[in-house]
Amino acid sequence: MGKVLIIGAGGVATVAAYKVAKNPDVFTEIVIASRTKSKCDALVEAIGNKAIQTAQVDADDVEQLVALFERFRPDIVMNLALPYQDLTIMEACLRTGVNYLDTANYEPKDEAHFEYSWQWAYRDRFEKAGLTAILGCGFDPGVTSVYTAYAAKHHFDEIHYLDIVDCNAGDHHKPFATNFNPEINIREITQKGLYWENGQWIETKPLEIHRPLNYPHIGARESYLLHHEEIESLVKNYPTIKRARFWMTFGQEYLTHLRVIQNIGMASIKPINYNGMEIVPLQFLKAVLPNPQDLGENYEGETSIGCRIRGLKNGEMHTYYVYNNCSHRAAYEETRMQGVSYTTGVPAMIGAMMFLKGIWRKPGVYNVEEFDPDPFMEQLNKQGLPWHELFDIDLEL
């Protein structure tokens, strides 16, 4: 049906590649490219599909990306590299007439800040070029936004309150490790919190607001309010929302390590001079922490991610909780990656599938909630991330 080019060879890209290879009726040709070609070759060997092609590319370099896209002529590029590289890849897509998909919004390297404005600025250019750009097609952002669209389509006339809740109740048996790129992960968590209420953004101190929440099959876990990008697009696309927040769980041991890392300056992204060399402390820390790709083998437990929604249907207030629980063990047995990579890589594949099938295809730049949620929700059940619904319960929030 179409050719896909995956940029990246980390945990999320690995899961996406496994899943793309399992859907040959949709993905008739596959290319994997990253800064280190040997990683791509090793991934192809692990998948066991010799027809998958590989290439080397520096995704920070528009000219290299243009040459890569012109060489392989993909129908869509799945950007599963770093958020720093979103704009260079989008530029290359425009120059070569290639469609685009990513899982996280753009972040500048020199500032711990992320928002969609940089990518939304490309709307007119993609529309005029007749190209589709699909933003934030992981789990959160991604599936949580599709959940919201599904709720708005089938269960609510107006959504008033939205809380996205993300619990990782797994145990990787490491003193301290992040479940995805340590640099991106620590930058995200140490930022100030941000949520939407009554038409304005409210800022909080980092991890200032927290409370225990109960997660299906897991129980109570302390959950912390964070700034997360999907809130920005969801309140724009669903203007009836009065309050929108994002919550994530952290254990006390993790938070203690994080506090020490911050206190000794290792979370800093400002370059320092060390023995005549310029290094970024957080990048050095990333180099010595466990690789998220290596956590899966001994990972136990599961994740639970979903949306807790209150709103009106036929003039009456109702609640709705839609969620997925993902087993780290099951994810590893299928893709050799842990559950956090799995829950991001599978939706990325489904988004590319939606495009190649012509279901999510229209010129411009779009967040996933702007497309029809139903076929995506159907594929979640088929591709390993089944979802569950609870109606008119106490949402705790």
DSSP 81: S
Query: What is the rounded distance in angstroms from the CA atom of residue 376 to the CA atom of residue 380?
Result: 6
pLDDT of residue 179: 75
Query: What is the rounded distance in angstroms from the CA atom of residue 32 to the CA atom of residue 212?
Result: 41
Tokens of 341: 């990579």
Do the beta carbons of residue 129 and residue 94 sit within 8 Å? yes
Query: What is the rounded distance in angstroms from the CA atom of residue 276 to the CA atom of residue 278?
Result: 7
pLDDT tens for the chain, residues 1 to 397: 899 999 999 999 999 999 999 999 999 999 999 999 999 999 999 999 999 999 999 999 999 999 999 999 999 999 999 899 999 999 999 999 999 999 999 988 767 677 899 999 999 999 999 999 999 999 999 999 999 999 999 999 999 999 999 999 988 988 888 876 777 788 788 889 999 999 999 999 999 999 999 999 999 999 999 999 999 999 999 999 999 999 999 988 888 888 888 888 888 888 999 889 999 888 888 888 888 778 878 899 999 999 999 999 999 999 999 999 999 999 999 999 999 999 999 999 999 999 999 999 999 999 999 999 999 999 999 999 999 999 999 999 9
Flag whether the pTM goes above 0.85.
yes
Tokens of 150: 């599904």
β-strands 99-102, 76-79: how paired? parallel
pLDDT of residue 112: 66
pLDDT of residue 287: 87
As beta bridge partners, residue 366 has: 134
Q: What is the DSSP string of 319-387?
A: EEEEEEEEEHHHHHHHHSS-HHHHHHHHHHHHHHHHHHTTSS--SEEEEGGGS-SHHHHHHHHHHT---
Give the H or E element holding residue 254.
helix 252-263
Do the beta carbons of residue 91 and residue 59 sit within 8 Å? no
Query: What is the rounded distance in angstroms from the CA atom of residue 72 to the CA atom of residue 65?
Result: 11
DSSP 300: B
CB atoms within 10 A of CB 394: 10
Long-range contacts of 374-380 (CB under 8 A, 24+ apart): 374/150, 374/153, 376/146, 376/347, 376/350, 376/351, 377/146, 377/150, 379/350, 379/353, 379/354, 380/143, 380/324, 380/346, 380/347, 380/350
pLDDT of residue 295: 82
- State the first-to-last Cα distance of the chain, in angstroms, to the nearest integer: 44
CB atoms within 10 A of CB 203: 11
Query: What is the rounded distance in angstroms from the CA atom of residue 140 to the CA atom of residue 229?
Result: 9
Give the H or E element holding residue 167.
strand 158-168
Tokens of 56: 């080397």
pLDDT of residue 77: 98
pLDDT of residue 29: 98
Do the beta carbons of residue 378 and residue 357 sit within 8 Å? no
* Alpha carbon 374 to chain centroid, angstroms: 20
Decide: helix, strand or coil at residue 54: strand
Which are the contacts of 90, defined by CB distance < 8 A and separation ≥ 6? 100, 119, 122, 126, 133
Q: Is 253 exposed, middle or buried (0-12, 13-18, 19+ CB in 10 A)?
A: exposed
pLDDT of residue 177: 83
